[in-house]
Structure formats: structure tokens, C-alpha cells
Amino acid sequence: MGLMDTQSPWLDDDQQDVWQALLTVVIALPAALDRQLQRDAGISNFEYGVLARLSMTDEATMRLSDLARECDSTQPRLSKVMDRFEARDWVVRRPDPTDGRYTLATLTDAGREKVVASAPEHVAQVKRLVFDPLSAAQRRHLGAALTRVAATVRRELEEGRG
Amino acid sequence: MGLMDTQSPWLDDDQQDVWQALLTVVIALPAALDRQLQRDAGISNFEYGVLARLSMTDEATMRLSDLARECDSTQPRLSKVMDRFEARDWVVRRPDPTDGRYTLATLTDAGREKVVASAPEHVAQVKRLVFDPLSAAQRRHLGAALTRVAATVRRELEEGRG
DNA sequence: TCATTCAAGTTGCCGGGGCAAGTAAGATGG
DNA sequence: CCATCTTACTTGCCCCGGCAACTTGAATGA
């Protein structure tokens, strides 16, 4: 339980196993996704996530700061992704008319076509790597546990510690 | 179940939630670990993993190719890490006397001290981010599911597709 | 024995991301 | 109304990692 966890300076054997599996997933899964997307669509997994997130919003438009937060990105990283996307005419940036400090990013038609074209193979890869190996119950349990961890990690990064 | 998963070109709602949580963990967790280690020990999470893996073996010695596989690393990546480690006198490289094609990496005393010094804060961070938010049952379920996913992803990368 | 093949490791080049500093727009307080 | 502060975003510099090409050492086969 929670108390022992932070007291001992080491991981017990069960924790070691979980941790090793998590490390492998955290290192190797992005690599596998990047390779498939790079080969088939010429974009990274992170870039796909940005396009997909934009495409799901009303008017395909978001403030950059909101987009960065929802994609778990820093602002400089997103800024440079946007440079590339604008060069390919996948998005346009313009100042938010209601508050000049913000910048609105909008997906173009070409940008939406890119997501739609890239999605099927990417989704198939995700299913093959993540969901196919799991039973329905395992999938639910994985979701429940990851949701808690994700919330903790997200809070960590937003609070600026690390 | 398995069949539907690969047939439909989309994720259903439950899968979406799991996938979003996994994406956050996969993107943000390494960032959080890197920041802590970089700040407190001047090394990355990946570098810590390499040192730790070496320190656990007999004689603190491994072939580079084995080390790369167990750290889910490519060979060029590990090769460059070793350049940095040798520059700091944390490891030494020498050809394997039994087969000149292999290279043996051995942790020096200074290298072992580095792991030992870095471990406590790193382990505490891992516990805080990953284990503290979970019940014992959730931890077991997470481990079971991740082990399956990790095996699948690992096979994927080793087979060279992606 | 020597040519071919194969695997381990290194190197060079290029692109991407982090951080810190700089810019710009709005809020705040006298 | 102006100085200061805060927040959103961009830019420059540097390091890291991927890929492809190269080098080297051992195995294979005639």
C-alpha cells in the first residue's frame, strides 16, 4: 500500500517486473509507431497526434497553448511542429481576435485529408500492438490503471517539477 | 475480442480512453523522469537504465549487442552513450577475447558509484508517479497487461517492421 | 586457402526537441 | 496615462537519436 511505497528506497520484485514492462512499452512503443507512420505517411507519432487532436475540434481550430497541453507538449515543440505544418499547408495560424496574446491554429482541407489518409494504417498498428494481445478484462484494467498514472504524470509536468 | 479489433478501421470509445491514457503516459512519463534525473544527476532516463542494467550483471560486464537489446536500444544509440560514458570514466570497452566481433562493456567503480548515487531519488520518482496512485490489485493488472504489450512491441521491433 | 557472406560496432549527416532568452499583447496599479 | 508584470509564443543554440554507409572479425564453401 501507499505508505511502504515511498518509504523503502527500492522497488520490490513485483514492482520491478511492472516497471520493466512499463519501461519497454514507454521506450519501444513510440519507436514502433514512429517507424510505421514515418514509412507510410512521412510524419511522426507526435505529429499525427497533433493533427488528429485538431481535426476532432469544432471548426478544426484551437489555441496553441490549449493544443500543447492536450498533446502533452511544450510550447516550443508545438511551435516548431506548426512551422512544418504551415510549410506543408496543413494548418494556418492567426492571432485570436478576442485576445491578441493567443494564436489560433486551424486545420486546412489538405491537413484533414492527411489525417484521414494516415489514420487507417496507424489505427491498425495501434490495435495490433496494444489491443490484440489483451483480453477485454485486461483492456479495462489497463485503462483504469493508466488513467491514474496519466493524471499523476500530467500534474507533475504542469506543476513544473520533474 | 481479437477479430473485431483488426477489422474495423477505428477505435471504439473504450479503446479511445485507454489509448489516450497510454499516449499521455508514453509521452509525458519519460519527460518527467528525464527532468528529474537531468536535474539531480545530469543523466537521462535512458542512460540511467544502461548503467543500472550493467550494474546488475555478474562482473558488471556485458556484450554491447546484448546490452542494446535488453535496453530496447539501437546499436548506434548505445554506441554513442558508451562514448559519453567512457569520457566520464564510467565504463570501459574492450574486444571480447572469445570472439573479436563482440565488444565487452564493463562498469568502472566510478560508474557503479554513479548509479548508486542516482538511484534513490529516481526510484522515489518512479514510485510517486507510477506505483503510489495504484492499488495493489491495479498494480498486478497493470503488470499483466503491460507484459503482454511489451512482448508484442519488442517482437515488432526485432522483426524490423514497424 | 581464399572469396563470399554475415554480424557487431562505429561514424557522418541530418532532423527534432529542450532550454533559456527575446518579443509582443494584455492586465495591474499608481 | 504610463511603468511594471504576466502570459503566449517564437527563436537560437546545443545535444541527442535515427539512418545509412563503412570497417572489422568470424564463418562458410568451393
Interval B27-45: pLDDT, tens? 999 999 999 999 999 999 9
Residues of chain A with pLDDT > 90: what percent? Answer: 90
Q: Domain A14-131 class?
A: mainly alpha
Per-residue model confidence (pLDDT) at position A7:
61
Strand D, CB < 7 A, residues 33-72 of A: 35, 38, 63-65, 68
CA distance B12 to chain A (A): 11
Cβ contact B46:B81 at 8 Å: yes
Q: Report the C-alpha dihedral over residues B57, B103, B69, B61, rounded to 10 degrees.
A: 10
The CATH code that applies to domain B15-131 is: 1.10.10.10
For helices A136-158 and B136-158, give the axis angle rounded to 10 degrees.
100
Per-residue model confidence (pLDDT) at position A128:
96
Partners of residue A68 in chain B, C-beta under 8 Å? none
Band of residue A160 on the pLDDT scale cut at 50, 70, 90: low
Q: Is B119–A9 a contact, with Cβ atoms under 8 angstroms apart?
A: yes
- Give the Cα separation of A5 and B125 in Å (integer): 11
- Give the Cα separation of A53 and A71 in Å (integer): 8
- Give the Cα separation of B140 and A90 in Å (integer): 43
In terms of DSSP bridges, do strands A91-95 and B61-63 run parallel, antiparallel, or are they unpaired?
unpaired
Q: Hey, which residues does B59 pair with through a beta bridge?
A: none
Residue A89, SS3? coil
Phi, psi at B61, each rounded to 5° = -135, 135
Over residues B98-151, the pLDDT tens digits come to 999 999 999 999 999 999 999 999 999 999 999 999 999 999 999 999 999 999
Q: State whether the Cα torsion A53-B8-B12-B129 is positive or negative.
A: negative
Band of residue A157 on the pLDDT scale cut at 50, 70, 90: confident
How far CA B48 is from CA of A124, A141, B71, B142, in Å, comes to 33, 29, 10, 23
- Give the Cα separation of B92 and A6 in Å (integer): 35
- Give the Cα separation of B67 and B81 in Å (integer): 12
Nucleic strand D within 7 A of Cβ B81 = yes
- Give the Cα separation of B29 and A86 in Å (integer): 29
Over residues B52-78, the pLDDT tens digits come to 999 999 999 999 999 999 999 999 999
* Sequence-separated (6 or more) residues with CB below 8 Å from residue A1: B136
Strand arrangement, sheet containing B103-107: B61-63, B103-107, B91-95
Q: State whether the Cα torsion B101-B107-B111-B116 is positive or negative.
A: positive
> What ranges do the domains of chain A cover?
14-131
Residue whose grid cell is 497533433 = A50
Residue whose grid cell is 548506434 = B76
CA of A99 to C1' of D6 (A): 14
Partners of residue B21 in chain A, C-beta under 8 Å? 143, 146-147, 149-150
* Sequence-separated (6 or more) residues with CB below 8 Å from residue A42: none
CA of B112 to C1' of D26 (A): 33
- Nucleotides on chain C that have an atom closer than 7 A to a protein CB are 7-12, 16-21, 24-27
Among B93, B78, B124, B19, which residue's Cα sits nearest to residue A15?
B124
Which nucleotide is at minimal CA–C1' distance from B83?
C10
- Give the Cα separation of B81 and B74 in Å (integer): 11
